[in-house]
Amino acid sequence: MEPKNINGSSRIYEHDIIGWFEDVSEKAGQVQTETLRRILGLNWGVEYLNKWFGDINIKDMDATALESLYTSLVPLSSHSDLEPYISRIADGDTAPLLTRQPIKLLSLSSGTTEGRQKLVPFTDHSARTTLQIFSLAAAYRSRVYPTREGGRILEFIYSSKQFKTKGGVTVGTATTHYYESEEFKIKQEKTKCFTCSPQEVISGGDYRQSTYCHLLLGLFFCDQVEFITSTFAYSIVQAFREFEVVWREICNDIKKGTLSERISLPKMRKAVLSIISPQSKPGFEDRRKLRGAGK
């Protein structure tokens, strides 16, 4: 179950999405049953479901009866049960194997479970649910720590490089797919907080160069930054360790409107240089603040 489209200010949106979440949480069992009904209805006839349901007609079944039928017919599954279907998708098979929604992307798991990375289907719905998670988290955060509309976020986020399978399907991490999606732009519009860094920094593919630019732009927009965040907490720790090393260089870049030679990726350089400009006074103030903090 998903929230309805909500229009209006970010405050109205935050109030409504929290209300929606708390409402569905109070009736989780009912929501789960209805969600299963919706999933089966949308994907009826795919090869994986046909394997278990055969020619059973579920069209007129109510949600509770369908749930009982599903649990009696379809066993619990693991990735290894679905891997043959995913391999066919990766090889270019466009038949409805697991979902009727086209699977144009595959995400890479972290590999912590079995010591190897696994491919997982990533659809348009996957991007929408990721947006939903981030929007809900932002709404709860804003309730405790209100943010100004139009403020900025210093986000230490990174897209890794994508590649193609032999069947032409794009593969990358789930976060990479999300940061490359239209939903990522929508998230900023809905929360009315905008990341400091342009897409060229996020998707640069070089962790250290992206981190330097994240730090530089966070300091450049310091008067607008509402909060600092990252997908993974350790990314913030690593970023500030790097900051201890390069802060003087960053301040010099802000003061002169230049960019360190350590940033060698052309698209990243161009994007960052289009944002920063000679800021002698702010550069001086940044140096003074940082020196004071280090005492």
Give 224-272 pLDDT, tens digit per residue. 999 999 988 999 999 999 999 999 999 999 988 999 999 999 999 999 9
- pTM for the structure as a whole: 0.80
Does 67 fall in a domain? yes
Quickly state the pLDDT bin for 7 (edges 50, 70, 90).
Answer: low
**What would the two tokens of residue 128 be?**
């929408």
CA dist., res. 153 & res. 64, Å (int) = 44
**Cβ 97 vs Cβ 89: under 8 Å:** yes
Same domain, 49 and 158: no
How many structural domains does the chain have?
2
CA dist., res. 262 & res. 267, Å (int) = 14
* Dihedral, CA of residue 179, residue 181, residue 182 and residue 186, to nearest 10: -30
Same domain, 147 and 251: yes
Give the residue from 42, 76, 110 where a domain finishes.
76
Same domain, 162 and 276: yes
Does 111 fall in a domain? no
Nearest-5° Cα angle at 158, 179 to 173? 65
Quickly state the pLDDT bin for 290 (edges 50, 70, 90).
Answer: low
Q: Determine which of 131-140, 219-228, 243-252 has the lowest per-residue pLDDT on average.
A: 131-140
Tokens 């970023």 — which residue? 239
Does 263 fall in a domain? yes
- 29 Rama class: left (phi>0) / alpha (psi -120 to 50) / beta: alpha
Does 119 fall in a domain? no
Same domain, 178 and 265: yes
Give the residue from 56, 76, 96 where a domain finishes.
76
Quickly state the pLDDT bin for 289 (edges 50, 70, 90).
Answer: low
Same domain, 236 and 163: yes
Does 63 fall in a domain? yes
Does 185 fall in a domain? yes
Quickly state the pLDDT bin for 174 (edges 50, 70, 90).
Answer: confident
Q: Looking at per-residue confidence, does 20 or 112 come out higher?
A: 20
Same domain, 133 and 276: yes
Q: What's the domain range around 230?
A: 125-293
Does 277 fall in a domain? yes
Same domain, 192 and 276: yes
Does 86 fall in a domain? no
Same domain, 272 and 214: yes
Same domain, 71 and 179: no
3-state DSSP: the chain helix, strand, coil percent, rounded to 5?
55, 10, 35
Q: Looking at per-residue confidence, does 22 or 293 come out higher?
A: 22
Same domain, 167 and 229: yes
Give the residue from 43, 76, 109 where a domain finishes.
76
Q: Is the pLDDT of residue 90 over 90?
A: yes
